[in-house]
Amino acid sequence: SGIAADALGGRPGVYSARYAGPDCDDEANNQKLIADLAAFPPEQRTVHYICSLVLIWPDGRTVTAEGSCDGVLRDFYAGHNGFGYDPLFYVPDKGKTMAEMSMEEKNEISHRGKALKKLVEVLS
């Protein structure tokens, strides 16, 4: 799982947890992403939470599934639920950041939940 910013060509992507360096924390990652997007107007700060799942059997067969959640990265924090980029990840359809949503609201749009649901559908 990770966050992908369109204006940054999909970065940080798989490097989301260590975007600001190998010994960074959520705050450092958030500040780096804010700084990297500062040159872009708000309407170009579109971001996506993306989760890719891969199931591999011992014989080499694979099944993959991907889920995403779309939003806009804000340069100020809102909310206290969640972790990582959640206080900056604003979901226009919900009118709030991921960190302002209840667990039920998050589960409705979760990139991880969507990926897992697709994986289960493929296996059924």
Structural domain boundaries in the chain: 2-123
Q: Which CATH architecture has domain 2-123?
A: Alpha-Beta Complex (3.90)
CB atoms within 10 A of CB 40: 15
Do 91 and 84 form a contact (C-beta atoms < 8 A)? Answer: no
Query: Is it the case that residue 89 has pLDDT exceeding 90?
Result: yes
Do 105 and 111 form a contact (C-beta atoms < 8 A)? Answer: no
Mean pLDDT of 82-98: 96
| Percent of the chain residues past pLDDT 90, beyond the cut | 98
Among 63, 49, 47, 54, smallest CA distance to 1 is for 49
Do 69 and 111 form a contact (C-beta atoms < 8 A)? Answer: yes
Query: Strands, DSSP E only, in the chain?
Result: 2-5, 12-13, 46-56, 62-73, 89-91, 96-97
Query: Is it the case that residue 24 has pLDDT exceeding 90?
Result: yes
Query: Is it the case that residue 18 has pLDDT exceeding 90?
Result: yes
Query: Is it the case that residue 6 has pLDDT exceeding 90?
Result: yes
Query: Is it the case that residue 82 has pLDDT exceeding 90?
Result: no
Is-above-0.95 flag for pTM? Answer: no
Do 98 and 119 form a contact (C-beta atoms < 8 A)? Answer: no
